Chains A and B, each alone.
Chain A
Amino acid sequence: MSELTGKIKSINGPVIIGDNMTGFKMREMVVVGPKKLIGEVISIDGDTGIVQVYEETEGLKKGDEVVSTGKPLSLKLGPGMLGNMFDGIQRPLKKIRADHGDFIPEGIGLISLDEDAVWEYKLLVKPGDKLTGGQIFAQVQETQLIVHKLMVPVDISGKVIWTNEMNKGTINDTIIKIEDKDGNIHDIKMYQEWPVRNPRPVEKRLEISKLLVTGQRILDVFFPIAKGGTTAIPGGFGTGKTMLQHQLAKWSDADIIIYVGCGERGNEMTEVLEDFPKLVDPKTNRPIMERTVLIANTSNMPVAAREASIYTGITMAEYFRDMGYDVAVMADSTSRWAEALREISGRLEEMPAEEGYPAYLPTRLAQFYERAGYVRTLSGEDASVTLIGAVSPAGGDFSEPVTENTKRFVNVFLGLDRELAYSRHYPAINWMESYSGYTHMIKDFYEKELDVDISNLREKMLGILFEENKLQEIVLLVGEDVLPDDQRLILEIAKVLKIGFLQQNAFHKDDAFVPLKKQYEMLKTMELLYDRGLSAVKKGIPISRVRNGETYEEVIKLKYTIPNDDISKIKEVNKMINDFYDKLESEYSK
């Protein structure tokens, strides 16, 4: 197709307006100016078109060229993504550093996957086989942890007429040839391209039924995140959003993690780059970096690419999902993405809705979160994309537009609380405000894993925490001493729950990740402590005796004293509790 060329008419930050742009397509990628900056057409009006530019526009002049590329902003999807860090439009930051030094210049051009790397592949089809779009024809051991499955592009189907028996090659080599029913021959390579703003197709959506095991007690037990589900983590600055996202990226049992650092700190991405290669997946003994892809648009990188980075992340996630993997996307933070939308909208002089955000903010949020799901892929496997988005509300106020609208489209809401963070209660998830809509959907999962239905236990313990919250209001007015003993017991047990269960130490070897079974047993022990305490109180034993310092301390320290690989010792603690109360009760019954 012939190349179209427009001319710049006006420039305002990352937004430029071009003349002579008839024939340019909406959302088409363009190359701007002598430095060949990358941009995207975001509106067309007669002969003029508006382009958002993904790089610094300093030095652009009126009359500079805007050249069409004929295709929308797309990713090259193929081997070479895992373990790497890309910018918002899939340009590899390691290569940029090697070519351009420590600071990122503009005009890098369009580069993405390493085209020189040689991959060994194993063919799974032979000439004569019939293939349809999305089916797997070969596989590459991309990292020791992950097998990269090569799929037929979704719009191609037909008969395999040739296979490349070299068994290794670069992403540009043709691996198989397919003849479709019209007799056209398609060269299928190791990579395929996909426009970031379009969801990749699936066979069908399935019902959500599995827990994303995170090893974080407050999540797995109280506010579970489901595979294929959506989660929002709002919190003011300093409440630990990023810490929590890092914890989830490190420990959750997804096969692949896509971590999108969207408008956040450069050092946080560096931290991931330093930490993840050192952290070892317990099941495979390989660094978790081998299952991770990083997308970084730090807060000082161009704002238009921030808008794109979220879509780059989710598109990669869908691609890995189509191979049959459970993928989790951490987007930190979606507020920066929304602000990028606002900034561009402002430069376009659009009529603003709430707080200057464009009126289409809710639509865009919905489109984003709806790309999560538990699905049957075109190749017939069950797989999922789980979305976990951090939200950074202005002033820590959850009633602002991004938090409010996000809340409408997600099923798990984990509100982070400044007061908890101030007292260094981490993760600072506020149990009064948070909720998970998946508890009933994944009920069976717990039964299968633990042989019990935990919903009763969950409700009982949450009930204690809610009750304590009410009582605290009274305590603030009249002090603790005037409460009846059964209510004081609630306060004491809530304290045990808060310190011993809800607080989790990300830096402790046994506490950073806790197996589901141990989480359950810990909570059972705390229930036992409550039940025995309550029956003692009912027998008229004073709270000062019921609350035994030593026993309580032992329960609070369970998280450190019970090793993750041998939780049998918890029975001794249970016995200790029973013995203590048996003795106490017999003492008083005399």
Chain B
Amino acid sequence: MKRKYLKLDKVEGSIIELSNTHSIGYSEIAEIEDQFGNKMVGRVIKIDGDSVVVQVFGSTMGIATDNTKVTFKGKPFEIPLSKEILGRTFDGIGRPMDGGGDIYSEKTYNVNGRPINPVSREYPRNYIQTGISSIDGLATLIRGQKLPIFSGAGLPHNQLAAQIVRQAKIKSESGSDNFSIIFAAIGVKHDEAFYFQETFRKAGVLDRVVMYINYADDPIMERIITPRCALTAAEYLAYEENQHVLVIMTDITSYGEALREVSSLREEVPSRRGYPGYLYSDLAELYERAGMIKGKNGSVTLIPILTMPNDDITHPIPDLTGYITEGQLVLSRDLYLKGIYPPINVLPSLSRLMKDGIGEGFTREDHPEVANQLFSAYSKVQDIRALAQIIGEDDLSERDQKYLKFGDEFEKRFVSQSFTENRDMMETLDIAWDLLKLLPREELDRLDQKLIEKYMK
């Protein structure tokens, strides 16, 4: 018989404290029942002598120190998982919310997971064609990679993610039923969640999608659990059911804010901008769950989306994310205002795993050098545009004018493509060669002579 505690010492925000407890484990799950019989879940976040601090995933409204029952479960936060989760929708802490009934499984999984042993990891090398030139050509997505989208409020990151989901060739060669998509919505608006649902339905993949949804008006504390539920499900599908799993997570900024809120309630010493000192470790616990394991056929590819407050890439959340993830896709408001979709600013965008997954035997032999040349040329375009603003375009040298032309065409023909346009890798590279023709030959210092002869027609 589990002990029931009927008296709380303190209620503050979503944190409750109680004393005179017995034999409670750190990180253990608690069930909190308010006076009307509503049940909520909480987790032990501190033990100090006989008193424990519990973080409640839910609203503490109406809770008084003497009208609430707390029971401790003696185990960490776990969710049941089986193949039945495919096609289902859950709330932010893993409870079914689609009316489809509970998931019955003998196996339950701790949502915190465990770190993958670096010795067990398989280095990701197979690229995923997204059909989007700026990604495929310049920041190639690799199966098992974690590649976030850095966006800003109002930019079309959701469309981009939807287009990736629709076009990505994540299916493996051997069969088509070994891929699945996990969508974790962390503090998103109802219409955003609905947009994704519609996208999945239109793409005809709804029965391969698992959704974990915490709406913007749901309890903030649940947000800390939502991505963990999603990643636990992803690991299960990848390593036990041999699925290639694409996890889309939005919005990590909401997650970070939830973490900050808990931290300030706990009166912890803040580091940058009030975020807790462990923000890096905490984000890493999420992101590092992407990957591949030797001897397993599945993989977890992670695309977190985060909106940079004030479009500031040095804000702690994008900053720390960039240090953990294997690159980033950065959306630019300037390009968006120019009417370019997808507004991916290729210069700060990067895929760290790309170097081992492109070129001969993967995409095409010219890919690495072409990408390199495009980066170098487009970064010169930026300097020349700055110069043109001062001295005017007409006074630019002939070479600089060619660069300007190249810059505009690059944005119009390479970066820009329609929401439904699905370009294959060869098409992307051919467009690139076409654009490089606009530049004087001696400017192509990153390209091998042989490649120029072969591909520049």
Stretch of A97-105, A375-383, A518-526 contacting B (4+ beta carbons < 8 Å): A97-105
Knowing A10-B47, A102-B117 touch, does A61 contact B284 (C-beta < 8 A)?
Answer: no
A266 touches which of B76, B291, B296, B442 (Cβ 8 Å):
B291
What is the size, in residues, of chain A's interface with B at 8 Å between Cβ atoms?
79
A339 at the interface (CB under 8 A from B): yes
B314 at the interface (CB under 8 A from A): yes
Contact assessment for B121 and A270 in the assembled complex, using a CB-CB cutoff below 8 Å: yes
B196 at the interface (CB under 8 A from A): no
Knowing A273-B118, A553-B442 touch, does A63 contact B23 (C-beta < 8 A)?
Answer: yes
A296: chain B residues at CB < 8 Å are 118
Contact assessment for A102 and B293 in the assembled complex, using a CB-CB cutoff below 8 Å: yes
B28: chain A residues at CB < 8 Å are 59
A267 at the interface (CB under 8 A from B): yes
Q: Which B residues from 264 to 314 make CB contacts under 8 A with A? A: 268-272, 276-278, 280-281, 284-285, 287-289, 291, 293-294, 296, 314
A62: chain B residues at CB < 8 Å are 23-24, 47, 49-50
Contact assessment for B118 and A238 in the assembled complex, using a CB-CB cutoff below 8 Å: no
| Nearest chain B residue, comparing its CB with the CB of A354 | B271
B355 at the interface (CB under 8 A from A): yes
| Nearest chain A residue, comparing its CB with the CB of B75 | A59
A481 touches which of B46, B48, B397 (Cβ 8 Å):
B397
Contact assessment for A422 and B272 in the assembled complex, using a CB-CB cutoff below 8 Å: no
| CB 8 Å contact bits of B100-133 with A (1 = contact, 0 = none) | 0000000000101111111111111000000000
Contact assessment for A346 and B76 in the assembled complex, using a CB-CB cutoff below 8 Å: no
> Which of A58, A93, A480 has the most B CB atoms < 10 Å from its CB?
A58
A21 at the interface (CB under 8 A from B): no
Contact assessment for A273 and B285 in the assembled complex, using a CB-CB cutoff below 8 Å: no
Stretch of B5-13, B30-38, B160-168, B385-393 contacting A (4+ beta carbons < 8 Å): B385-393
A343 touches which of B24, B278, B294, B347 (Cβ 8 Å):
B278
A476 at the interface (CB under 8 A from B): yes
Q: Provide the bound-state CA to CA distance between A238 and B323, in Å.
A: 8
Q: Provide the bound-state CA to CA distance between A235 and B352, in Å.
A: 15
Q: Provide the bound-state CA to CA distance between A175 and B121, in Å.
A: 38
| Nearest chain B residue, comparing its CB with the CB of A92 | B119
Q: Which B residues from 378 to 434 make CB contacts under 8 A with A? A: 379-380, 383, 386-387, 390-391, 395-397
Contact assessment for B319 and A237 in the assembled complex, using a CB-CB cutoff below 8 Å: yes
Contact assessment for B387 and A479 in the assembled complex, using a CB-CB cutoff below 8 Å: yes
Q: Whole-angstrom distance from the CB of A388 to the nearest CB of chain B?
A: 19
A363: chain B residues at CB < 8 Å are none
Contact assessment for A499 and B121 in the assembled complex, using a CB-CB cutoff below 8 Å: no
Contact assessment for B445 and A556 in the assembled complex, using a CB-CB cutoff below 8 Å: yes
State which size class the interface on B falls in: 35 or more
| CB 8 Å contact bits of A288-301 with B (1 = contact, 0 = none) | 00000000101111
Contact assessment for B47 and A343 in the assembled complex, using a CB-CB cutoff below 8 Å: no
> Which of B28, B47, B50, B324 has the most A CB atoms < 10 Å from its CB?
B47
Residue ranges of B at the interface with A (Cβ–Cβ < 8 Å): 23-28, 46-50, 76, 110, 112-124, 239, 268-272, 276-278, 280-281, 284-285, 287-289, 291, 293-294, 296, 314-316, 319-320, 322-324, 326-328, 347-348, 350, 352-353, 355-356, 368, 372, 375-376, 379-380, 383, 386-387, 390-391, 395-397, 442, 445-446
* A-B contacts, 27 listed (Cβ < 8 Å): A10-B48, A12-B48, A13-B278, A94-B119, A102-B120, A103-B120, A105-B114, A236-B322, A237-B322, A238-B328, A238-B350, A261-B118, A263-B284, A265-B288, A266-B115, A270-B121, A296-B118, A298-B118, A301-B115, A342-B277, A349-B269, A350-B269, A357-B271, A395-B319, A424-B372, A424-B379, A507-B355
Residue ranges of A at the interface with B (Cβ–Cβ < 8 Å): 8-13, 56-63, 85, 93-94, 96-97, 100-105, 236-238, 261, 263, 265-267, 269-271, 273-274, 296, 298-301, 303, 336, 339, 342-343, 345-346, 349-350, 352, 355-357, 392, 394-397, 418-419, 422-425, 475-481, 499, 507, 549, 553, 556
If A96-B117, A102-B293 are given as contacts, then 9 extra A-B residue pairs at C-beta distance below 8 Å, sorted by A number, are A9-B48, A61-B23, A62-B49, A102-B120, A238-B327, A238-B352, A299-B288, A395-B316, A481-B397
